């Protein structure tokens, strides 16, 4: 459990993080999203005590990070930039970290095996590829068998195999009851990995909700209709709650009506449909809509997303189905 | 590399075993591992040993072979102990750079983030790096000084201008070679933590140790005579000098002052390390 309370970080005049409050719960993967420069890394650095908050606090299982007796056994962190001396071997890097806690050598061998670096453990870390470097960072994070894991952009620059490995690993760690906070700017990745989302923009909290709610609420769900008699159908469908956008001579984008109703109305009028496709906004689109708002924070643009603070609605099914074009899931 | 789904012992199995946690002793152990696991450390230490021993013997040999051409005043102020320890002046480069790298190497590579995440109190890291590197330097450089002294005196004995450890101040001076370099090591560690960059740390350290005395030398002589003995370099070097100028500090007074400079820098490093964002 990570509790972030009123966290603020100022660099001179600039506010990097502003009165940020959220809770990361155990047992699920929580995605930490935001555009570049939104304060994700700064927040994560404050969680593990690398940066001092200007205001506010972070508690890990009720304790400040600095007061934890065995930090590596409480929190495992993989931070964005590499945190390894390039001249030291992977094995000695992990051994030196383990020794600060009295963690036995056996565990160093175990985590090296676990992340698949056994073949290169005695080689200088400076020669590692990006993927190997990430694996070494994850080995360091797992060294103390921590109950909480914090990973900043863990899939950055990884090949598909590496991405799949991390995705599985994170879900397994969460399934074991650990608290997992993972930042990313890859929304599609979050859809497959995370169950809950904390979204920030310009250092402020934008959303704290389940992935399912996030997508459902993010933007209108549209039904894509194609018909030779589109203009005629358009008049039949129009009502107060329904908005229709014509897209070419025979295509309609209908929002506010489920696809089965549209099909029924068309059938009743004897209008043939050549296409009837419900389209749910992808997480990517939802995120774009949100961050667009964040960027235009002062512009007063119409909000596409209802602000919905976290209310424990995370018990919905995991992300995979979110990318399919299922029936409108608006709740 | 295969997909790994087994993430090790089930949650809590490892931490349930009592006794894991950060202690000063464990951080010392960790820093010792860090020191010995870098090739650059080993090369630098080897260089320092070679500098002290080889240069001391070489210069002693040169002095002996040219003794007959030396002027009477040079013969009068000749310091056989200091001559055989002249390699210390070169070795301080290797030791000082290595000291700076103890921290700046970690800031440069990002290792410092891993270090400080593991030891969030931070100060145990400063003390551990200081102690580990000071002990290693003291042991290696004291032994090297004795070897250089014995080898150097063997060269000087051809002209019967050698000395022995039994002469007043000589034993102190030979130990002083190791002690001086140990304090240089600590100055380097502190500067590395303060400045964080390797280039900046090295420039500061040798600006103070090598350049500052030169600049003071340009001052009117009545000023420079009053300032020079208290410079870190002059104060520190007094401990391995047997035949000294009247204005210079005694060996132990000089070393004490030199240690004082190091203590001030280490205290500043502690404050900065604790306060600044990593």
Q: What ipTM does this complex have?
A: 0.90
Backbone φ/ψ region at B21: left (φ over 0), alpha (ψ -120 to 50), beta: left
Contact B110 A87 (CB under 8 A): no
Q: What DSSP line would sit under B203-257, residue for residue?
A: HHHHIIIIIHHHHHHTS-HHHHHHHGGGSHHHHHHGGG-SS--TTSPPHHHHHHH
Domain residue limits, chain A: 2-70+144-216, 222-279
Percentage of chain A beyond pLDDT 90 is: 53
CA distance B252 to A183: 57
Percentage of chain B beyond pLDDT 90 is: 89
Which of B9, B19, B20 to mutate: most A Cβ within 10 Å? B20
pLDDT of residue A215: 72
Fold of the domain built from segment(s) A2-70+144-216: Rossmann fold (3.40.50)
pLDDT of residue A186: 73
Contact B30 A87 (CB under 8 A): no
Q: Does A130 touch chain B (CB under 8 A)?
A: no
Q: Are A219 and A303 in contact (CB under 8 A)?
A: no
pLDDT band at A202; cut points 50, 70, 90: confident
Q: Does A80 touch chain B (CB under 8 A)?
A: no
Question: Which ranges of A49-104 does DSSP label H, i.e. alpha helix?
Answer: 71-74, 90-99
Residue B30 structure tokens = 């960790």
Contact B110 A71 (CB under 8 A): no
Contact A83 B29 (CB under 8 A): no
Mean pLDDT of the region A118-139: 93
Highest mean pLDDT pick, A72-81, A166-175, B258-267? B258-267
CA distance B26 to A97: 10
Report yes or no on B259 lying in a domain.
yes
Domain that holds residue B239: 24-275
- A146-179 residue pLDDT tens: 999 999 999 887 888 888 999 999 999 999 999 9
Cβ contacts of B118 on chain A, cutoff 8 Å: 71-72, 97, 100-101
Contact B20 A114 (CB under 8 A): no
Give the residue with greater pLDDT, A211 vs A119: A119
- A267-292 residue pLDDT tens: 999 999 999 988 776 666 767 776 76
Chain B: residue whose CA lies nearest to A102: B20
Exposure of A175 by Cβ count < 10 A (0-12 exposed, 13-18 middle, 19+ buried)? middle
pLDDT of residue A281: 66
Report yes or no on B241 lying in a domain.
yes
Report yes or no on B5 lying in a domain.
no
Residue B136 clears pLDDT 70, i.e. is over it: yes
Number of domains in chain B: 1
| Half-sphere exposure (Cβ direction) of A235: Cα atoms closer than 13 Å | 5
Residue A178 neighbours by CB distance under 10 Å: 22
Chain B: residue whose CA lies nearest to A172: B5
Residue B5 clears pLDDT 60, i.e. is over it: no
A222-279: CATH class: alpha beta
Range in A225-234, A318-327, B88-97, B110-119 the model is least confident about: A318-327
pLDDT of residue B115: 97
- B48-71 residue pLDDT tens: 999 999 999 999 999 999 999 999
Query: How many beta-carbon pairs below 8 A join chains A and B?
Result: 159
Report yes or no on B4 lying in a domain.
no
B21 closest CB neighbour out of A69, A77, A177: A69
Q: Are B1 and A138 in contact (CB under 8 A)?
A: no
Percentage of chain A beyond pLDDT 70 is: 82
Residue A309 clears pLDDT 70, i.e. is over it: no
Report yes or no on B153 lying in a domain.
yes
pLDDT of residue A187: 76
A12-41 residues touching B, CB cutoff 8 A: none
């Amino acid at each position: 459990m990570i509790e972030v309370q009123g966290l603020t970080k100022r660099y001179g005049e600039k506010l990097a993080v502003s009165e940020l409050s959220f809770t990361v719960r155990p047992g699920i993967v929580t995605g930490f999203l935001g555009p570049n420069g939104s304060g994700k890394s700064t927040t994560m650095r404050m969680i593990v005590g690398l940066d001092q908050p200007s205001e506010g606090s972070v508690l890990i299982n009720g304790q400040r990070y600095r007061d934890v007796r065995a930090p590596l056994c409480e929190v495992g962190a993989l931070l964005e930039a590499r945190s390894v001396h390039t001249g030291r071997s992977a094995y000695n890097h992990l051994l030196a970290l383990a020794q600060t806690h009295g963690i036995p050598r056996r565990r160093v061998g175990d985590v090296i095996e676990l992340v698949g670096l056994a073949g290169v453990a005695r080689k200088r870390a400076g020669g590692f590829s990006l993927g190997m470097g990430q694996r070494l960072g994850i080995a360091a994070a797992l060294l103390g068998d921590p109950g909480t894991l914090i990973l900043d952009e863990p899939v950055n620059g990884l090949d598909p195999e590496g991405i799949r490995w991390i995705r599985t690993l994170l879900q397994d760690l969460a399934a074991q009851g650990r608290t997992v906070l993972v930042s990313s700017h890859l929304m599609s990745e979050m859809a497959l990995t995370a169950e809950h989302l904390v979204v920030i923009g310009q250092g402020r909290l934008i959303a704290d909700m389940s992935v399912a709610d996030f997508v459902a609420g993010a933007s209108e769900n549209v039904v894509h209709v194609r018909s030779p008699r589109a203009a005629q159908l358009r008049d039949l469908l129009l009502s107060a709650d329904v908005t229709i956008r014509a897209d070419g001579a025979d295509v309609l984008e209908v929002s506010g009506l489920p696809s089965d109703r549209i099909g029924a109305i068309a059938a009743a009028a004897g209008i043939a449909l050549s296409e009837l496709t419900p389209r749910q906004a992808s997480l990517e689109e939802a995120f774009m809509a949100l961050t667009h708002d964040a960027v235009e924070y002062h512009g007063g643009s119409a909000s596409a997303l209802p602000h919905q603070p976290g209310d424990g609605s995370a018990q919905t099914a995991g992300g995979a189905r979110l990318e399919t074009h299922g029936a409108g899931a608006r709740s | 590399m295969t997909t790994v789904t087994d993430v090790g012992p089930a949650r809590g199995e490892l931490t349930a075993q009592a006794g894991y946690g950060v202690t000063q002793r464990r951080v010392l152990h960790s820093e010792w591992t860090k020191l010995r696991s870098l090739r650059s450390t080993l090369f630098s230490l080897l260089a320092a040993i070679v500098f002290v021993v080889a240069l001391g013997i070489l210069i002693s040999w040169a002095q002996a072979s040219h003794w007959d051409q030396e002027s009477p005043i040079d013969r009068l102020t000749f310091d056989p102990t200091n001559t055989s320890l002249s390699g210390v002046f070169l070795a301080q480069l290797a030791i000082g750079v290595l000291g700076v790298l103890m921290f700046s190497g970690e800031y440069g590579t990002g290792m410092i983030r891993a270090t400080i995440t593991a030891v969030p109190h931070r100060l145990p890291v400063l003390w551990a790096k200081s102690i580990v590197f000071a002990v290693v330097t003291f042991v290696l450089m004291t032994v090297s000084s004795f070897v250089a002294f014995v080898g150097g005196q063997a060269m000087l004995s051809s002209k019967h201008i050698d000395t022995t450890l039994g002469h007043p101040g000589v034993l102190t001076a030979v130990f002083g070679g190791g002690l001086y370099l140990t304090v240089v090591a600590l100055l380097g560690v502190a500067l590395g933590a303060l400045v964080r960059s390797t280039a900046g740390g090295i420039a500061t350290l040798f600006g103070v140790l090598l350049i500052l005395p030169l600049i003071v030398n340009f001052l009117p002589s009545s000023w420079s005579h009053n300032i020079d003995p208290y410079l870190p370099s002059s104060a520190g070097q007094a401990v391995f000098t047997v035949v000294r100028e009247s204005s210079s500090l005694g060996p132990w007074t000089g070393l004490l002052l030199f240690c004082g400079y190091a203590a001030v820098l280490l205290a500043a490093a502690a404050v900065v390390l604790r306060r600044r964002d990593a």
